[in-house]
Amino acid sequence: MKNEPKPALDRYWNRSRIAVASSTCFLLLSLSFHPERAFSSSFISASAFVQTPVRGKVADKSGNPLAGATVTNQNSKKSVQTDESGTFSIDARPGDVLKVSIIGFDGQQITVGESRTVTFTLEDNSQILEDVVVVGYGRQKKVNLTGAVSQIDSKVLEDRPVSNVTQALQGAMPNVNVNFSNGRPGSEGTVNIRGFASINSKNASPLILIDGVPGSINNINPRDVETITVLKDAAAAAIYGARGAFGVMLITTKKGKAGKMSINYGNNFAFSGLTVSTDFITSGYDAAILNDEAFIRATGNSYTGYTEADYAELLKRKNDPSLPSVVIQNRNGKDQYVYYGNTDWWDYFYRDVQPSQEHALTMTGGTDKIDFYLSGRLYEKKGIMQFNQDKFNSYNLRSKIGAQLSKWLRVSNNSQLNYKNYTFPGWNSGDKPEESNNNFISTTVHALPSYVPVNPDGTATYRTELNNYTVGDGIFADLLYGKSRGGKKEHEFVNHLEGVATIMDGLTVTGNYTFNYNPVQTFVRRTQVPWSIFPGVINYLGNDRLTERQITYTKHAINLFANYNKTVGQHNFGAVLGYNREQQKWDAIGGVVDGLLSEDLNDFDLGYGNMQTTGGSRTWALEGYFGRFTYDYAGKYLFEMNGRYDGTSKFPSKQRFGFFPSVSAGWRVTEESFAENLKQYVNEFKLRGSYGELGNAQEADEYGYISLMNSGRSNYITGGGKTQYISAPTPISSNLTWERTNTLNFGTDMAFLNSRLNVTFDYFIRKTLDMLIPGPTLPAVFGAATPKMNAGDLENRGWELAVAWNDSRTLADKPFKYNFSVGLSDSKAKITRFDNPKMLLSNYYVGQTLGEIWGYRVDGLFASDAEAASWKINQDYVDAVRLSAPGEWSKLKGGDVKFVDVNGDGIVNQGDNTLSKPGDQVIIGNDRARYTFGVNLGASWNGFDVSAFFQGIGRQHWYPGANSDKFWGPYSRPYYSFVPKDFADDVWTPENPNAYYPLMRGYIALNNRGSLNVKNDRYLQDLAYIRLKNLTIGYSLSDKLLQRVKISRARVFVSGENFWTATKLRSDYIDPEQAAQEVNGRSYPISKAFSFGIDLTF
């Protein structure tokens, strides 16, 4: 009994049949049996029955505290999380086992001894499956999630020569789609989650929250991002109610860490070029022949006005480019410039290389009472324009300070200041930045290579007397003069003040207030441009005008919510209850003035001509009450409910509020006893399902339920000024209310082989109900547009798969880590309700798969004039442009497109253009992206690291737009400036019968019902592509070397962006990614880049 007191006592209890349940009785009996040990082993044995607080700290191997780590008493199953300084307190007995876990680190466990303090030092391990995920108003263990959630960390954004976060986000997460309509410096992407959500929003944007507050993903510093979490289904997003209909993206920024101050400096220098070919026809003779051929066959006239003698001069200069490209000749009794050039207009006005640079500085540190994070970033990229080069600048500053004022209260303040400015050359085509720069190539027509940009006297060319057309529509002359310009400047100040109070064990209350001030200023300056066609005679193009506008966005947001967690045995409960209110205001002011006294100074006081002012103001508010309840039993059976009661000022008072609930459940099969033997192979197998309903007010106007009267000024002068008028009231719908989105989601999370292989799969059905659409067509005498009504439904079905592998091996006695991940997703949407009783194909109709392309079938090209003449099928309806051609060219000829008479009635047409009577139209494709994917590869060894990221789509159809100059060439406008160099080699002639393009005819791709303007399956393109989005190679210097120079970490790297692309698109001159967003493929081109940089930590 001396060495085994407890068994001896047990035998005594059995013999005496005495039941003692209290530690006090145990102590008294111990005294009676062993008085000499009354204050030694017996006393300790008594304390073993009492749980007392054990305090501790969790840190990494460098001593930096780890906040948010989960500490679990394996015996009592109770868990707590570490605070900002890495400390925690948890009840435990001596002998209890404490286990700690946190994302990105190896787990560790310690057995509690006599000491009431413990310290955990964790080793970094990026292979560990992410343990904690940011969710709405809190965090949850990934294994306990029941909704569809994806999360990435800052590694995705590292070492990328990008101006904003969206440029690095493409393909990073399944079914998170990022699209760019142009490649301007600083271009901003649009984010879409799970495909088409509403016919009102092709790229319906998710709610984006930065540290819990709505903000712009394109304004923040990419280096500040810690994690990006996407809540995809209604169950995960329901707590955000009406704003989460299209998903929620939670961006968490980095914060301070207690410990020695750390300073990090990083830079990135890049040189960009275009992803497409710019090798265009530059021979004046070849271009004139090709364009005149197309123009004559369409109109009967020469476009260039060149005579046979002129063509002879052009041919001489093709063979000998040193001959003068401009001569002075007397024509029509007057000396004038005549052009015989070989001009490469692209090379003259656009650059091959655009440099960019980034510099970033971060400081972080603190104590267990206060911590801070300070960061700053400068980014600059120059654009493609040769004259008055466009340029983008951005600056970001962030300051985060947190203070533990007491054991129960922590406060923090997060301030950010963002600035970006894009300046560009303008021209006399519009007063808005989007008009002056968005489609900067779209009007560069009429500039054939035979023309030149500058006359011998230095004046710009604008037109030639040989025809009635203006060279480059005057844009090139304006660019060359360099005085017209524009810009867009944006400031943003955001301040987020937050307090977190720990009321009791497991209960915290959080309150925060955010203020956002965001003025956006734009200006466009147009100047008169001197030009000449007659030697010594100067003319002026355009007018002198200054347009300025400022829009100021002001936002206020308040959140107050409580989090409560409680464990009773193996029952784990959690609850969130809160309140949210937001208010936004939009103010605009602007002016236009003509006739400024200076070409270089922009000031309204310098204007002496007509002056106009504009203005406006809008405001709206949102108020919501939200809650979440979570429950799990032994970590096996998971249940969650979310709900939000939302109201918005965008709807009438009786329709303003709506309740949006969700419910989800999960089952961790591997936690069951029957699965115990499988856990060595299947570490995690979870089944989950959810259903929820969300509202959507994105498409509702601020005052859509109020009949408004617009004011303006007429063109009539009364009393020395234009007469002001007020228009008739706009019609409204009296029952305007929320669009509703219902989502059913089933998913599974699996981990195999010691969690080295992780697989996630989700299948969803999302129904958008009561979409805002135009109401029934009203008689023309009504005199106003039909008001929108909640009268359309849409169903979207899709799936997403994510597979990731992380592992390490030993190579040459050094650890070799490698990883890969694949994300694949797809979705398809159908209309289930729409007011189109005739089922017209020109509108949405019930049963329509969104993105359907209706067109005609083509059976090749006519082999000869004889075959065309004997053709019995009437295809005039789809070849109407030919009918207006002169003489013989109005007839079908060899090389023309041969259409298929699908319905066999002898005529190729659209019938009634209805679903039941579509004529010869059939569905030939779909313009929505299908099977989007991303592939990540990575490895590291002995200081070296390499990563590659591929992104693409499996299928997406595109029919080139009427103005797609680099695809259609002269078939559209027979005077384009940029025609692919070998274009003529693919044009049908009797000697080239297997050519891709038909007989050359001008305007048949541009004008309505031309044989190439009508969509057909011969020229339908597939934009499927795979692109090496990023390739990075880096090297981290050894610790031994760095210790000598007092640097804790140093890494150098080289990186490539958009280096390689493989596509089904039949053109090297059009980027498949860009064509999907801009049907004519003529917006600012996307670029590829080579970059290098260094990252230093002190």
Q: pLDDT tens, 843-892? A: 999 999 999 999 999 999 999 999 999 999 999 999 999 999 999 999 99
- Asked if 832 contacts 773 with a C-beta cutoff of 8 angstroms, the reply is no
Distance of CA 239 to CAs 232, 638, 688, 738, 987, Å?
A: 12, 18, 18, 17, 59
Model pLDDT, residue 36? 39
What distance lies between CA 307 and its chain's CA centroid? 53
pLDDT in tens, 86-139: 889 999 999 888 989 876 677 888 888 888 889 898 876 543 334 677 787 888
353-385 pLDDT, tens digit each: 999 999 999 999 998 899 999 999 999 999 999
Task: Give dist(CA 975, CA 306) in Å, integer.
Answer: 14
704-722 average pLDDT score: 66
Span 646-667, mean pLDDT? Answer: 88
* pLDDT at 1083 exceeding the cut of 50: yes
**pLDDT given for residue 13 in this prediction:** 37
Are the C-beta atoms of residues 134 and 151 closer than 8 Å to each other? yes
Amino acid identity of residue 742, one-letter, is: N
Annotated domain spans of the chain = 5-47, 52-122, 283-342+439-474
pLDDT of residue 127: 39
Q: Is residue 73's pLDDT more than 50?
A: yes
Tell me the backbone φ, ψ of residue 560, rounded to 5 degrees: -140, 120
- Residue 642 has φ and ψ, to the nearest 5°, of -130, 150
Does residue 423 have a pLDDT over 80?
Answer: yes
Q: Which pLDDT value is given to residue 104?
A: 63
Per-residue pLDDT for 562 more than 90?
yes
Q: Are 102 and 120 in contact (CB under 8 A)?
A: no
* Calpha distance 533→650 (Å, rounded): 57
Whole-structure pTM value: 0.83
Residue 842 DSSP class? T
pLDDT > 70? residue 463: yes
Phi first, then psi: give them for residue 10, nearest 5 degrees: -60, -40
Q: What local confidence, expressed as pLDDT, does residue 343 receive?
A: 96
Calculate what percentage of the chain has a pLDDT beyond 90: 58
Between strands 858-861 and 507-526, the pairing is unpaired
Calculated CA dihedral for residues 908, 912, 913, 916, nearest 10 degrees: -100
Q: Give the DSSP H/E element, type plus range, for residue 766.
A: strand 757-774
Task: Name residues whose C-beta falls within 8 Å of residue 564's C-beta, 6 or more positions apart in sequence.
Answer: 506, 507, 508, 573, 574, 575, 576
Assigned token pair, 300? 């009967």
- DSSP structural state of residue 205: P
* pLDDT: which is higher, 491 or 128: 491
Decide if pLDDT at 35 tops 80: no
Overall size of the chain counted in residues:
1098
Between residues 827 and 40, the one the model is more confident about: 827
pLDDT band at 758 (very low <50, low <70, confident <90, very high): very high
pLDDT confidence of residue 533? 92
pLDDT at 784: 61
**Range 52-122: architecture per CATH:** Sandwich (2.60)
How far apart are alpha carbons 163 and 153 in whole angstroms? Answer: 18
- Average pLDDT over every residue of 813-829: 93
Return the structure tokens found at 485: 């310009």
The pLDDT, as a whole number, for residue 11 is 42
Q: What is the mean pLDDT of residues 580-595?
A: 94
C-alpha–C-alpha distance, residues 96 and 48, integer Å: 10
Neighbours of 255 (CB within 10 A): 20
Express as a percent the part of the chain with pLDDT over 70.
88
Whether 245 and 769 have beta carbons less than 8 Å apart is answered as no
Look at the alpha carbons of 132, 133, 139, 145 in this order and tell me if their dihedral is positive or negative.
negative
Strand ranges in 204-333 using DSSP code E only, listed in sequence order: 207-210, 213-214, 225-231, 248-253, 259-274, 326-331
Count of alpha carbons within 13 angstroms of residue 351, beta-carbon side: 17
Report pLDDT for 778.
Answer: 62
301-353 pLDDT per residue, tens: 999 999 999 999 999 999 999 999 999 999 988 999 999 999 999 999 999 99
Check pLDDT > 70 for residue 60: yes
Render pLDDT for 823-847 as a digit per residue (tens, 0 to 9). 999 999 999 999 899 999 999 999 9
Q: How far is CA 809 from the centre of its chain?
A: 36
How far is residue 609's CA from residue 543's CA, in Å, rounded to a whole number? 11
Measured from the Cβ of residue 992, the count of other Cβ atoms closer than 10 Å reads: 14
How much is the pLDDT for 504? 94
Distance from the first to the final alpha carbon of the chain: 61
Residue 274 has pLDDT above 90, yes or no: yes
Amino acid at 284: G
pLDDT of res. 656: 85
Least confident piece of the model among 13-27, 400-414, 790-804, 1013-1027: 13-27
| Cα–Cα separations (whole angstroms), residue 912 to 145, 840, 849, 878, 924 | 52, 8, 20, 14, 18
Q: From its phi and psi, is residue 86 left (phi > 0), alpha (psi between -120 and 50) or beta? A: left
Give the pLDDT of residue 157.
Answer: 81
Which stretch, 195-199, 650-654, 712-716, 767-771, has highest mean pLDDT? 767-771
Q: What pLDDT was estimated at residue 202?
A: 55
Closest CA to 377 of 355, 393, 400, 354: 393
Per-residue pLDDT, 896: 98
Q: Radius of gyration (Cα) for the chain, nearest Å?
A: 35
Check residue 444 and give its pLDDT.
74
d(CA 682, CA 673): 13
On whether the CB atoms of residues 574 and 631 are closer than 8 A, the answer is yes
Is-contact 252 211, C-beta < 8 A? yes
pLDDT at site 714: 67
The count of other CB atoms within 10 Å of the CB of residue 352 is: 13
Residue 95: the pLDDT is 87
**DSSP designation for 880:** H
Give SS3 for 782.
helix
CB atoms within 10 A of CB 530: 15
Q: How far apart are CA 874 and CA 901, in angstroms?
A: 9
Residue 152 scores a pLDDT above 70: yes
644 pLDDT tier (thresholds 50, 70, 90): very high
What is the distance between the alpha carbons of residues 450 and 283, in angstroms, rounded to a whole number?
A: 7
- Whether residue 1045 is predicted with pLDDT greater than 80 in this model: the reply is yes
Predicted confidence at residue 23, as pLDDT, reads 36
pLDDT at 888: 95
Does residue 790 contact residue 739 with C-beta atoms inside 8 Å? yes
pLDDT value at 949 more than 60: yes
Residue with tokens 């948890």: 90
- Give the angle 934-940-943 at the CA atoms, nearest 5°: 140
What is the per-residue pLDDT for 782? Answer: 57
Confidence grade of residue 41 (pLDDT, cut at 50, 70, 90): very low
User: How much is the mean pLDDT over the chain?
Assistant: 87
Q: Which of 200-204, 448-452, 520-524 has the lowest mean pLDDT?
A: 200-204
Using CA atoms, how far residue 71 sits from 83, 551, 749, 987, in Å, is: 11, 49, 24, 72
| Residue 643 near residue 629, CB atoms below 8 Å | no
| pLDDT for the residue 441 | 65
Classified as helix, coil or strand, 439 is: coil
Q: Is the pLDDT of residue 727 over 90?
A: no
- pLDDT range class, residue 246, cuts 50, 70, 90: confident
| Average confidence (pLDDT) over 1023-1033 | 95
Local confidence band at 14 (pLDDT 50, 70, 90 cut-offs): very low
